Chains A and B, each alone.
Chain A
Amino acid sequence: MAPHSWKEALGTRIRDDWAREIDVFETQLELRQRGKLEEKLFAETRLRRGAYGQRYDNGQRSDGRGTQSLAFPERPSKGPGTVWDAPGMMRIKIPYGRLTAEQLEVMADLAEEYSDGILHVTTRQDVQLHFVHIEDTPDLMRRLAAVGITTREACGNSVRNVTQCPRAGVCAGEAFDTTPHAHALTFFLLGHDDTQDFGRKFKISFSGCSESACGLASFHDIGVIATTRVVDGAHQEGFRLFVGGGLGSVPQAAELLEEFTPVHELLPLAQAICRVFGRLGERENRQRARLKFLVKRLGIEEFRRLVFEERRSLRPDPRWTAHLEKPADELERPLRPPQPLGSSEFENASTELARFRASNVRQQKQEGYVSVTVALPLGDATSRQARALARLARRYTGDTLRATVDQNFLLRWVSEADLPELHRELALHGLGEAGAGTISDVTSCPGTDTCKLGISSSRGLSAELKQRLQVVSDPNASALHIKCSGCFNSCGQHHVADIGFLGVSRVVNGRRVPHFQLVVGGQWENNGGAFGLAIGAVPSKNVPRLVSTLTERFARERSQSESFRAWVVRVGKKEIRKLVDAEAVVPAYEVDPSYYSDFGDPREYTIGDIGEGECAGAVVSFLEMGLAASEREVFEAQLLLEADDVAAASERALRAMLTAARALVREENPNVSEDTREVEREFRERFYDTKRFFDPFAGGKFAHYFFKALADGDSKQDRSAAHQRIEEAQLFVDAAHACQERLASERRVGA
């Protein structure tokens, strides 16, 4: 008989802890629907599961003449000002960009069945699906989990997708392959207690070398760059560890925390950094809550002192070094023997293949193998293309591929002799386009297409530029990087482009006109080595002409081996500003109304659709999350009792009390483990013996429920006893809430 649900169909294919997490999330959806889970908490919960807001999800949309209310059914919200039925975005974390053919196929199916048939690769090596209904997300997560992908902590105030140079392990210039370390750190920090209490998101990247751009370590909260040294004749691998970098509206270069962090110290040191950030990072003003502000406020010396002090206080964890004892990565082995492309084959190659080879193909350090970039326009691929790519990955590379930070896919371990056939097959599916990494390979954030914060259409502009820049013939101009963001937040990484754009709005002739600020002086190489500055704004429709002027002048005036950045310095910003001013004029509406609408959008331009971003989410503490989890567990216990599963109901009620008790303890002892006895002891010492948990009228009664349940354990309980335990669990959780309020009040008085 056919299964009735994906949960039933996938059964044991999902690992137990992930299955449980998704069941929990599904329960939270139900609780929110019943009005039993507070809006702000639910919003942060769904964000931490990767379910993000999208433009118009407040139920309002400009139609070019005025703002319309979208007549969605009346339901509880899924966050402050967020309509339940409004479609949202699902962010799928692809740790360090590595994915298998099967994973890509599943995402292709999900895009068709829950989204709009498009997979979007982001600048953090994630895949995003847009226009997804919140009620579809648990099944979507299950189908991903069945192939080894979790969306946990893809958004919200958490450790976001860990990124890495997509050529790790195959690049001739790297110190060593950082893949095992990126993998270990990803899964060590995922769901770790010390990463649940941040005031803002936290980003980590790995790079195999200092010179290339692939890892972009300079603008991450933690930037990890592989390095080696020789001590007493012994070769050692380690990392240059940078902290406190970030883009956003105020970019800041990361500072060096440690010149050489041995590989076995990476995980504990990262944990210590997370703890210091969780404890001392800004929580009230989210505009200043990233790690970069904390590092700046304390100074790198003091920050370093605190981190190493914290490191010394950590309880040893076997996971810190478990990955170092495993054999080398076995997932990525070549499928075909290495075979260079013969010179006659090369001579016979078509012009298309020759162009493709020049821009999209790079030799690996392993002789006879090449890495092939599959350029995705604006990071988009259709479900059909994704399936085709998965088949080609299986056929030519041994099953794996990588998403890149410039929004493409990379096929590694291609035997060079297979290149003509691979290119032919890619082209059949519209994936054989040359120009990867060149000026026409424009990077763009979602902008006004789907982002609530978008001011101008970065994707519309990027599509236009991409089309026009196919014909740039000068090799130096062709090598430039263009990156577009729809607002100042720099998701399109405009600060580190040769030519960057960020969306702004201007009022001209009494009407709004979409504009872009030109940003020059940034550096993509050296891990994003320098940040550009805005020179001036031009109307969106004039940007392509400005780009042509800039690139033509650069090609004409460039002295030998001069970079674009050096050329900008030489000619001076005053001169560049003149070029901007020449394009800044907006014709009257009556003369050319096209200036008053954005690329690809016939509506008259407005900024009325900008909403509140969910990038940061609300700041919800570990304690609040813990208490919400304990409430949900009490509810689950009730459902289990309804289903006559008495033993499970009783066990779940006990777990609810443990969860609440541990959340309280962890406020004061971040090292507390999940061991039941330890939680009981710590709770007793800190909250019972001190009477801080006591109710003003009932005294220690509710704590006694907890101790009694622990003493009884999972001993056989009848229905009546289970029922009573559930009631007591609810009272204990309520008392924990009251205790939380008292703690907050104590802190306010203390402050």
Chain B
Amino acid sequence: MSLTARRVELSLPLEPGCLSEPERVVPVFHGVIRDRSLPGVWVDVARYAHVGHGPVVILVGHEADYAIEREAAGVRLARTRKRGSDSLLDRELLGGLLQMAEILESSLAGVRVRTDEFRLRVLDRLRVPNTPEVVTVARSQVHGLAVALVGSAEVAALDDEGEPVTLRVSRSRNQSVSEARRALAG
């Protein structure tokens, strides 16, 4: 069984405390729309800083969204693929995430994005329902894809009631974002 999904969210953690005011990202996201600095159609910036945990700022696009998310463990940068490929994990998804990470690091002083752990949420409950059998297959499949993209990696399933299939991919090295981008391209 090979799993596919239309919508997936891939995210990276930010260094603890480096973005204590996530709304600083708002002008950066507006700049992406204005300057068309990323491929794709970018539509708007949505702000939800008033909601405790969850997305704080979202760059809404046609093919994908980017979001700064706040959760108990810290702040994350996420990319949600909405159309195009249906692979659980691929070069385009990770590459796009790293590209935005680079934009944030270069635009906002002090912001650093970690690359040694990324999290995949499969937002397609039809094709990838959260059942033990499917999670086992997804974990194995994502492990293979991750190794092909970034070298050695550990994949663990995160179990949280009612949530979509969620996998954590860990790597031993925390490369800089630009280094990780070069490695992915190479």
Residues of chain B with a CB closer than 8 A to A602's CB? 26-27, 30
Q: Judge whether A112 and B48 touch: CB under 8 Å.
A: no
Q: Is A748 an interface residue (CB 8 A)?
A: no
Q: Is B173 an interface residue (CB 8 A)?
A: no
Q: Judge whether A391 and B43 touch: CB under 8 Å.
A: no
| Nearest chain B residue, comparing its CB with the CB of A131 | B60
Q: How many Å lie between the Cα of A551 and that of B33 in the bound state?
A: 40
Using known A-B contacts A72-B41, A85-B62, A600-B26, determine if residue A2 contacts B127 with beta carbons closer than 8 Å. yes
Q: Judge whether B43 and A113 touch: CB under 8 Å.
A: no
Q: Judge whether B50 and A112 touch: CB under 8 Å.
A: no
Encoded as 1 (CB less than 8 Å from any A CB) or 0, chain B from 44 to 61 comes to 111111111111001010
Encoded as 1 (CB less than 8 Å from any A CB) or 0, chain B from 109 to 122 comes to 00000000000000
Residues of chain A with a CB closer than 8 A to B26's CB? 600-602
Q: How far is the CB of A87 from chain B (nearest CB, A)?
A: 6
Q: How many Å lie between the Cα of A536 and that of B30 in the bound state?
A: 32
Residues of chain A with a CB closer than 8 A to B125's CB? 109, 113
Using known A-B contacts A463-B49, A463-B50, determine if residue A116 contacts B126 with beta carbons closer than 8 Å. no
Q: Judge whether B55 and A86 touch: CB under 8 Å.
A: no
Residues of chain A with a CB closer than 8 A to B164's CB? 109, 112
Q: Judge whether B53 and A382 touch: CB under 8 Å.
A: yes
Q: How far is the CB of B85 from chain A (nearest CB, A)?
A: 17
Q: Is B163 an interface residue (CB 8 A)?
A: yes
| Nearest chain A residue, comparing its CB with the CB of B42 | A70
Q: Which of A101-116 contact B (CB under 8 A)?
A: 105, 108-109, 112-113, 116
Q: Is A430 an interface residue (CB 8 A)?
A: yes
B60 touches which one: A87, A382, A429, A463 (CB < 8 A)? A87
Q: Judge whether B162 and A466 touch: CB under 8 Å.
A: no
Q: Is B34 an interface residue (CB 8 A)?
A: yes
Q: Is B124 an interface residue (CB 8 A)?
A: yes
Q: Judge whether B7 and A113 touch: CB under 8 Å.
A: yes
Residues of chain A with a CB closer than 8 A to B105's CB? none
Q: Judge whether B162 and A387 touch: CB under 8 Å.
A: yes
Q: How many Å lie between the Cα of A431 and that of B46 in the bound state?
A: 21
Residues of chain A with a CB closer than 8 A to B162's CB? 105, 108, 387, 390-391
Q: How far is the CB of A67 from chain B (nearest CB, A)?
A: 11
Q: How many Å lie between the Cα of A61 and that of B42 in the bound state?
A: 10
Residues of chain A with a CB closer than 8 A to B30's CB? 63-64, 601-603
Give the contact-size bracket for chain A. 35 or more
Q: Which of A6, A63, A65, A381 has the most CB of B within 10 A?
A: A63
Instruction: Report how many residues on chain B are interfacial, defined by Cβ distance under 8 Å.
Output: 37
Q: Is A23 an interface residue (CB 8 A)?
A: no
Q: Judge whether B60 and A6 touch: CB under 8 Å.
A: no
Residues of chain B with a CB closer than 8 A to A378's CB? 50
Q: How many Å lie between the Cα of A56 and that of B33 in the bound state?
A: 13
Residues of chain B with a CB closer than 8 A to A61's CB? 33, 43-44
Q: Judge whether B50 and A64 touch: CB under 8 Å.
A: no
Q: Judge whether A380 and B51 touch: CB under 8 Å.
A: yes
A72 touches which one: B46, B62, B126 (CB < 8 A)? B62
Q: Which of A569-618 contact B (CB under 8 A)?
A: 600-603
Residues of chain A with a CB closer than 8 A to B45's CB? 601
Q: Is A117 an interface residue (CB 8 A)?
A: yes
Q: How many Å lie between the Cα of A431 and that of B51 in the bound state?
A: 9
Q: Which of B124-178 contact A (CB under 8 A)?
A: 124-127, 161-164
Q: Judge whether A382 and B44 touch: CB under 8 Å.
A: no
Q: Is A449 an interface residue (CB 8 A)?
A: yes
Encoded as 1 (CB less than 8 Å from any B CB) or 0, chain A from 162 to 190 comes to 00000000000000000000000000000
Q: How many Å lie between the Cα of A133 and that of B58 in the bound state?
A: 16
Q: Judge whether B46 and A116 touch: CB under 8 Å.
A: yes
Residues of chain B with a CB closer than 8 A to A130's CB? 46
Using known A-B contacts A61-B44, A71-B41, determine if residue A466 contacts B50 with beta carbons closer than 8 Å. yes
| Nearest chain A residue, comparing its CB with the CB of B82 | A133
Q: Is A5 an interface residue (CB 8 A)?
A: yes
Q: Which of A373-407 contact B (CB under 8 A)?
A: 377-378, 380-385, 387, 390-391
B residues near A (Cβ < 8 Å) are: 7, 23, 26-27, 30, 33-34, 41-55, 58, 60, 62, 65, 67, 82, 123-127, 161-164
Excluding A131-B60, A384-B54, A430-B52, 4 further A-B contacts by CB distance (< 8 Å) are: A64-B30, A85-B62, A112-B164, A117-B54
A residues near B (Cβ < 8 Å) are: 2-3, 5-6, 9, 55-56, 61, 63-65, 68, 70-72, 85-87, 105, 108-109, 112-113, 116-118, 130-131, 133, 377-378, 380-385, 387, 390-391, 429-431, 449-450, 460, 463, 466-467, 600-603
14 contacts between A and B (CB under 8 A): A9-B126, A63-B34, A112-B164, A118-B48, A131-B43, A131-B60, A131-B65, A377-B50, A382-B51, A383-B54, A384-B53, A430-B52, A600-B26, A600-B49
